[in-house]
Amino acid sequence: MRLYKKEGNTLQILSSPSDNVEKGDYLLVEDTNVNRKMITQIIDVQFASVPGILEELLRDSTTEEQIYGENFDPLGVSSHINHIQDARMLICKIRGAMVNDKLHVNSSWLPCRSKSGITKISFNSLLERVGGNGGLPINVGETKDGSPLNITAHDLDGRLNIITGKKGTGKSHLSKLLVLGLVDYGATVVVLDLNGEYAGLGFSAKGGGNQYSDKVHVLTPGANFRVSLSQMGLSVVLKILIHALGLPGTSTREFKHIWKSLSQQGKFTLHDLGEAIRRCSCNMHVRDALFSRYHSLVNSGFFTDNEESATSFVKLFEKTKKDGGALVINLKDVSSVDRQIVLEYTLGTLVNLLDQWKIKSVFLFAEEAHLYLRETYWEDIVTRMRHFGLFTNFVTNQPDTIKENIYRQADSIFLFNFTNERDLETVSKAARVDAETVKSIAQELPPHHCLLIGKAVKDFPVMAKVRALDIKTMGQTRLFFENRVSA
Amino acid sequence: MKLSLNSMKNIKSNYLQPTEKPLNKPPTEHIENSTTTLGIQHPSTIKTIPLEQSLDEKTVVAVDVSSIRIGETETGVLCAIRGAIAWREKNRYKYQRIGPFPFHITEQNKKEIYKLFKNHGFETSDHRAPSINYIQARIGNLLERWLQLGISCSAYDTIILWDGSMTAGMADSAVDEMSRLLEIARNRLSTVLAFSKNTTLRFSGHKLTDYAEKAEPPCLLQINGFPLCSGPVLLLGDVYVAKLTPGVCSFRLDIDRKVPRERGIEAVQSLLGSDLLVQSYPETLRLAHIFSTFTATEVIGIQRFIAHQYGLKIVTRPNVRRLLFGPFGKGAEN
């Protein structure tokens, strides 16, 4: 391999067909004279622009059609000519430089063109060189060369991450893998499970319990996830009424009076609340508004007056505090209004608990968050909430539903295949990688392969095949023709 | 092939300096079509011979050879040669490429090469080995004559197409050798037609081919009055201008002088029925040219082969013209 050209942070390297290099591989350009190394990653492999190639191909194309012939080439020169024809140009992005074995991000240094040696380097040895492998490893899968790829739990701690890719590429699978990886190290994880896909985390593929059986708590609103009014502070109730049920300002003020009065009386049943609204000497329209919201709360089935059967987040988090655990909020078959009620309660309660230091921090995994997360939460999550200890991981197949500023502030992106240019354009706005890398590599990712970008991989983007998990698969598409053999 | 291997075996150099010719420009052939400037004796005439396509389909065979300069070493020049035979048989084109053969020509081995020329009748009048720079073309001619001989000996009742003319008696076209080639072909009922893409022959100050502009194709213009010989140079063929299809192109066509005139014209009529003709040029001959010509990629490939096989390092020496004249330096440095 020979260095050909450098433009900005793009390096062009001339390579012969026998060089075993592919898109995504890392190359080390080493200039021994100055004891510097440049770390580059191949983002595209093109044919080298060899002079005369067009004539060559035109001549060859004639022979394919109706002209038959053979070459008498006793000296074997043809193999060298073919070699030239197949010469490749590797388009590489500079990821950093190493000066005296220390990593520098400065890419302005120009290695010697004639003397530099270029070698392929495995991702793991690259991480070793830059001192990247810390403790608490989470095995994501394997790199292209078959070596295991680990990220560390530290890489997800205090971070904002996005898992995205088109339908059926393995996003949820990776998300589950990260959830269990965090649980392994005693972390508390809350999963907002839109399609009931995470319910099988505590079961092995064959159906029996697995090592996570005691650590995965699936909460289904209205079934084993119900809350009492007494558990909620006024702030949480108001969030539900205002954001989930759209209670207007005047009615909100009236509700505050009612709640204060009930609080003084120590009466926090649904029945008491209904009676208080009925007795309220307010404007008829305000009362009607309050009643309609009250009935929505009652009809959601999420609220109970039975303190015994009410779910206590505090108690659940107590369980997860020692050995870690995952609370899976199963939002499958929950109407959009009820979903928002549940979400407002969950997030409101979480923030309260974190604020009061009842729990240290929580990793939140949100699937298709745009379907239930209100507008103002996006800003909150990336700015305020992480200071409370709520670390969010968004999982989506519609990248444009996540705001651009979220991409810019994302610490890591786990990118699965996208073929749609617009989707790739959206993801390429991420601050931690150049758009060319995203567009070039993500379009060719096979299923269950992802491109890891950002802090999780020390800003060295890498392609990985996500490893399989021994868990019960849920959320699979139901097929009509599943058992029919095709003709 | 043996000559190629022998010449290459004796490389005593550490480097190969690639040829200065820009490789993105198509390499030119180093084998010039053998045309000559012969005076026309007066009175001379031009006669138009209309042609009719013959239904008697015959096999058409064409030969062409190309050579190209690959670079220089400390002691000499490196060149490569390749020949191509193309033939049309039963509406199907086939080809055989021979080579490429690299050669290392030095002052030391040029005598050995010259000896080989002499053995094949390529003797020049001054009896001295030609300059290194000319040997490349000579080697190409040698291969071309060898291929032509092979075809003359093996083909029967065939139209044999040569690239160039039938002018003999020059350094690269010995009279005896060329006469023998034509005779063998004649005895096997084959007819040799030699097409020149360029000719220096003029008639009344005009290029011969210009006279075919107004002629109705397919036709031949017979030029009478050319001297058969001029000094050592001898015309072994009757000279015609061939305009075989509509279009702007016409070519000097030499037909073996010892073939009866009618049989020669019949051969051209057979060619009309046996081969595709584009711009008056036979497709078989065009293919032979295409398959023998070196592309820039091939030149790089051959340079790589030589460097790899003989352990030479490819270096580019500074171009003196470019150093002295900058953008005003024209052409490659010699």
* β A117-121/A26-31 pair status: antiparallel
To the nearest whole Å, the CA of B244 is away from the closest chain A CA by 23
Q: From the CA of A49, how many Å to the nearest CA of chain B? A: 10
Query: pLDDT confidence of B43, banded at 50, 70, 90?
Result: very low
Interface test with B, best of A73, A80, A82, A83 (most B CBs within 10 A): A80
Strand order across the beta sheet in which A161-164 lies: A148-152, A137-142, A462-466, A449-454, A412-415, A161-164, A390-396, A362-367, A188-193, A325-330, A216-219
Domain boundaries for CATH 3.40.50.300 within chain A: 148-225+311-466
Measured CA to CA, the distance from residue B228 to residue A199 in angstroms comes to: 102
Pairs of CB atoms within 8 A across A/B: 97
Residues of B in contact with A75 (CB under 8 A): 1, 4-5, 100-102, 305
Distance between CA atoms of residues A425 and A400, nearest Å = 9
Question: Given an 8 Å threshold on Cβ–Cβ distance, is B95 in contact with A74?
Answer: no
The confidence score (pLDDT) of residue A32 equals: 83
Q: Which residues of B touch A (CB under 8 A)?
A: 1, 4-5, 22-24, 26, 80, 86, 92-102, 287, 290-291, 295-302, 304-305, 308
Question: Which pLDDT score, from 0 to 100, does residue B34 have?
Answer: 41
In this predicted model, what pLDDT tens digit does every residue of B150-206 receive, in sequence order? 999 999 999 999 998 888 777 667 778 888 899 999 999 999 999 988 776 666 666
Residues of A in contact with B4 (CB under 8 A): 75
SS3 state of residue A121: strand
The answer to whether residue B86 scores a pLDDT higher than 90 is: yes
Residue A439 has pLDDT above 50, yes or no: yes
Sort out which chain B residues have CB atoms less than 8 A from A86's CB and list them: none
Average pLDDT for B44-67: 87
Given CB atoms, is A75 within the 8 Å cutoff of chain B?
yes
Report the distance separating Cα B34 and Cα B173, nearest Å: 8
More confident residue, A13 or A344: A13
Q: What percent of chain B lies above the pLDDT cut of 90?
A: 24
Residue of chain A whose alpha carbon sits nearest to that of B99: A73
Torsion, Cα A443 A445 A446 A449, to 10 degrees, reads: -150
Mean of the pLDDT values across residues B36-65?
77
Q: Is A481 on the interface with B (CB under 8 A)?
A: no
Considering only CB atoms, which chain B residues are within 8 Å of A51?
22-24, 296-297, 300
What is the percent of chain A with per-residue pLDDT over 70, rounded to a whole number?
A: 95
pLDDT tens profile A88-113: 999 999 988 888 777 777 767 888 88
Residue B117's pLDDT band (cuts 50, 70, 90): low
Q: Is the pLDDT of residue B11 over 90?
A: no
DSSP state of B214: T
Across the interface, whether the CB atoms of B100 and A73 are under 8 A apart is answered yes
User: Whole-angstrom Cα distance, residue A33 to residue A39?
Assistant: 17
- A101 and A129 Cβ atoms separated by less than 8 Å: yes
The Cα–Cα gap between B89 and B86 comes to 10
Cα distance between residue B146 and residue A72, in whole Å = 15
Distance, C-alpha A327 to centroid of its chain: 18
Q: Could you state, in order of their start, the residue ranges of all structural domains in chain B? A: 2-31+41-328
Tokens of B31: 């084998």
Q: Is A230 on the interface with B (CB under 8 A)?
A: no
Q: What residues of chain A lie within 8 A of the CB of B98, using their CB?
A: 72
A137-142 and A148-152: which strand pairing? antiparallel
Here the tokens at position B272 are 């009309």
Q: Specify the range with the lowest mean pLDDT, choosing from A326-340, A417-431, B97-111, B194-208.
A: B194-208
Q: Is the pLDDT of residue A342 over 80?
A: yes
The architecture CATH gives domain A148-225+311-466: 3-Layer(aba) Sandwich (3.40)
Residue to substitute from B28, B293, B305, B314, interface A, most A β-carbons within 10 A? B305
pLDDT digits (tens, 9 = 90+) for A141-176: 998 888 898 898 988 888 889 999 988 888 889 999
pTM, two decimals, is 0.73
Cα angle A316, A317, A321; round to 5: 130
Q: At what angle do helices B2-9 and B110-119 cross, to 10 degrees?
A: 170
Of residues A409 and B292, more confidence is placed in B292
- Distances from the Cα of A310 to the Cα of A30, A221, A304, A362, B136, angstroms: 64, 11, 7, 21, 98
CA distance A36 to B97: 49
Three-state SS for B14?
coil
In the DSSP assignment, the letter for residue B204 is: T
Distance between A8 CA and the closest CA of chain B, angstroms: 27
DSSP letters for A148-206: EEEEEGGGTTT--EEEE-STTSSHHHHHHHHHHHHHHTT-EEEEEESSS-GGGGGB-TT
Secondary structure letter of residue A384 according to DSSP: I
Neighbour tally for B103: CB within 10 Å = 25
Confidence of residue A360 (pLDDT cuts 50, 70, 90): confident
Is A66 within 8 Å of chain B by CB? Answer: yes
For residue A104, the surrounding DSSP H or E stretch is strand A102-104
DSSP A374: -
Residue A102: both structure tokens together: 């220390």
Say yes or no for a CB contact (<8 Å) between A52 and B302.
Answer: no
pLDDT at A305: 85
Number of helices (H) and strands (E), helices first, in chain A? 15, 19
Give the angle A347-A362-A455 at the CA atoms, nearest 5°.
120
- By the 10 Å C-beta count (0-12 exposed, 13-18 middle, 19+ buried), A154 is classed as middle
Whole-number Cα distances in Å, A379 to A340, A385, B32, B140, B243 = 18, 9, 78, 78, 82
Q: CA-to-CA distance for A464 and B53, rounded, in angstroms?
A: 68
- pLDDT of B333 reads 46
Nearest CB to B308 within list A66, A67, A80: A80
Cβ within 8 Å, pair A81-B94 = no
